[in-house]
Copies of this chain bind each other. A is one copy, B any other.
Amino acid sequence: MEATREWAEQQDSEDPLSLFRKEFALPDGVIQLNGNSLGPLPRAVPDALDRVVRHQWGEHLIRGWTEDGWWDAPVRVGDRIGRLIGAGPGRTVVGESTSVQLFNALTAAARLCPDRTVLVSDAANFPTDRYLAGSVARMLGLRLVEARVDELDRVLERHRGEVGPVLCGAVDFRTGELWDVPRTTAAVHAAGGVAVWDLSHAAGAVPLDVDTAGVDLAVGCGYKYLSGGPGAPAYLYAAARHHDALDLPLTGWHGHVRPFDMADEFVPAPGIARARTGTPHVLSLLALEAALEPLETAGVTAVRHKSLRLGDYAIRLVAGLIGTDGASAPDREPQVVTPAAHHRRGNHIALRCPGAPAVSAALMERGVVTDARPPDLLRLCLNGLYVSYAEVFDTVAALRDVLREEVRTADTGLPAGRAGEVAG
C-alpha cells in the first residue's frame, strides 16, 4: 500500500502543512532534499531584499541604520531565532559565520570557568567546530579532549574537576543522530563544565528549549532549516544568567554599551547586545529575517511531526528496496544509519551507501538534490515544511534506479526497474 505513489499522494492531500510548500520557490522538476545544507528560497525573500537594497540603502542611505531598523537587526532577528530554539527575548544575537561565533562562544565559556583546564569537543562534530575548539584550546592554554557525545559521561568522569567548556553538536551532521540536549547539559553541569551547543542541524527542524534545558551557550547557522540563503549569518545564544559575566573576545564596537561615544575603552553593552561584533552584514541578515516567516507560522512542532512521518516513510521504503529488490548487492545496499526512534533522530536521514558521492551525483541528474558526506553517507533532508510524501516516494524510486543502473553498468545483467514504483 505504502509502496505506491497513490498512497503518498493521499498523504499529501491530507497534509495540513502542504500549504507551506508554495511559500518556497522550489524549481520545477527538482526534489530539494538538501535543506540541511542550503534551505530553498522562501518566496518572500527576493522582494524583501530588493526593498532593502533599492529603497532603504538606495534612498535612505545612512538613515537606514535608524529608520529601517538596521541597527537593531542583530538582536531583533536574534529574538526571532531565539523563539525557534526556546530562548526568551534578549538572549540571541545574529552575525558573522558559525565558525566565528564558535570562537566567540567557546572563549567566553572558558572564561566562565577560569579554573578549568580541559576543553571537551564532540569528536563527531562538524569539522569547523572541531577546528575552532582546537584553536580556542590553544589560545587559552587548555587541553583539548575529543570524545563522541555518547562517550561524554566517561570523559567527564575521567577529567573530573578539570572539564570546562564542552562543545557538542545537537544533531550528528553525518548520521542525523539527535542527542539529548537537556540530559547532556545536566551532565556537563554536574561535572562543573559549561555546555556549548552547535544547533546548526537542529534549529528549525527539532523542537529545542535551550532556556529550560539550562544550555549555557549555543551557536548555529542561518542557512539550513532557517532558509536564510547561502552563507546567511549565524547566531549566538547565551543564557541570561551568564550575561553580566559574559566576556567575549570579539569586542567589536557594535557590542559597546555606547557605541557612538567612540570611547577609548571597550565597555560591553548590558545583556546579549554585548555579543554583537562589528557592523552586521545587513543584506544577508535581512534576507534571513524575511525567510523566517513560513517556519514561524507553521511552527517547529508541526514541522517536526511531519518530518518524522516523512522519515519513517523513507526508512520503510528503503528497507523494502533492500528486502525485495534484487538490484542491491550486499556490499552496495543502502543501509539507514539514522536512528529510527523519534527521540534519537534529527531531521535528515543518512544512508550508508558505498560510492555515495557518485550516487548523489546520479540522483542530481534525475532532479533529486541530496548530498554525500565522507566516507559513504548519502543524506536526505526531509523537511516537512516543503517536502511531500510523493517526493519521498519518487526519491527512493530514483535511488533504486540509480543503484540498478550502477549494477547494470557493472555488468551483472540485472534488469532495470520500473519507474514510479519502489518496491513492487
Contacts and interface: CB of A to CB of B under 8 A. Distances in A.
Contacts of A263: 127
A364 B369 CA distance: 51
Given A97-B95, A253-B126, A46 B54 contact: yes
A262 B251 CA distance: 30
A256 interface: yes
A251 B131 contact: yes
A229 interface: yes
Contacts of A232: 281, 283
Nearest to A24: B58
A107 to B, nearest CB: 8
A100 interface: yes
Contacts of A99: 250-254, 277-279
Contacts of A254: 99
A335 interface: no
Total copies of the chain: 2
A96 interface: yes
Contacts of A30: 61
Contact of A231 (B25, B223, B262, B280): B280
A281 B135 contact: no
Interface in A57-87: 57-59, 61-65, 70
Contacts of A126: 253, 262
A95 to B, nearest CB: 7
A-B pairs, top 7 by smallest CB distance, nearest first, are A97-B278, A99-B278, A99-B252, A230-B282, A131-B266, A41-B58, A128-B253
25 contacts: A27-B58, A27-B59, A30-B61, A37-B62, A38-B62, A41-B57, A49-B50, A50-B50, A65-B230, A99-B251, A100-B100, A100-B250, A100-B278, A103-B250, A128-B252, A128-B253, A130-B264, A131-B251, A135-B250, A221-B279, A230-B282, A231-B281, A231-B283, A232-B283, A281-B284
